[in-house]
Amino acid sequence: MASDIHMHIISDNGEYRYNDMFDGVRDYEWFDNICNKYHTNFCYDSFPKVSGIPDVAPDAIKKDKEDVSYFDFFYVRVGEFLEWFNRLRPDVDAGWVSTYEMWLYQAKGIAPEEIPHELDEDCNALDYHFMEIEDPEDMSRALFEFIVDHKDIGLEDYIVYYFDN
């Protein structure tokens, strides 16, 4: 069943700073990662989320929490998210790519579809290079950049997120 994310940033005194920041986004892999369900990226093992909503949540969020069509309520302090992101960089991966894939990435910005972390025994090792690749479309990166770009967001503010059907 398809789910939509509701993500808000609220101040430490419970006022909305930003409401429904990713309205219309349906990145199910990211949704699973930030809820610690079937995550595909080890970085999310230590994602600093808390289940539920903060005590200072606005009434609209408290009402959504009581409504049965909303589920998986979590929150994280902005400062904890920023520290986690800077320490683990979930938007960066590294692995083995062929000389051609390396050229495509460096010359044209085309990232390989898959980045193997180990070389196959039967490959031509001279044709492979270990390289780091950033994913500019990573949703945690988008959240990080949103926070950095909005100077009114404080480290003690909350990122609150939940889902609906």
- pLDDT tens digits, residue range 109-134? 999 988 899 998 888 889 999 999 99
State how far the Cα of 81 lies from the Cα of 159, in Å rounded to an integer.
Answer: 9
Residues 123 and 143 in one domain: no
Secondary structure E strands in the chain: 4-10, 16-18, 50-51, 70-77, 92-98, 128-134, 158-164
Residue 1 has pLDDT above 60, yes or no: no
Instruction: Say whether both 74 and 85 belong to one domain.
Output: yes
**Same domain flag for 120 and 143:** no
Classify strands 16-18 and 50-51 as parallel, antiparallel or unpaired. unpaired
- Tell me which DSSP letter residue 125 carries: G
Global model pTM greater than 0.75: yes
Domain co-membership, 63 together with 110: no
Q: Are 51 and 9 in the same domain?
A: yes
Domain that residue 97 falls in:
92-133
If pLDDT is split at 50, 70 and 90, which confidence band does 164 have? Answer: confident
- Assess whether 32 and 59 both reside in one domain: yes
From residue 114, how far is each of 94, 97, 111 by CA, in Å? 10, 9, 8
Q: What is the pLDDT of residue 8?
A: 96
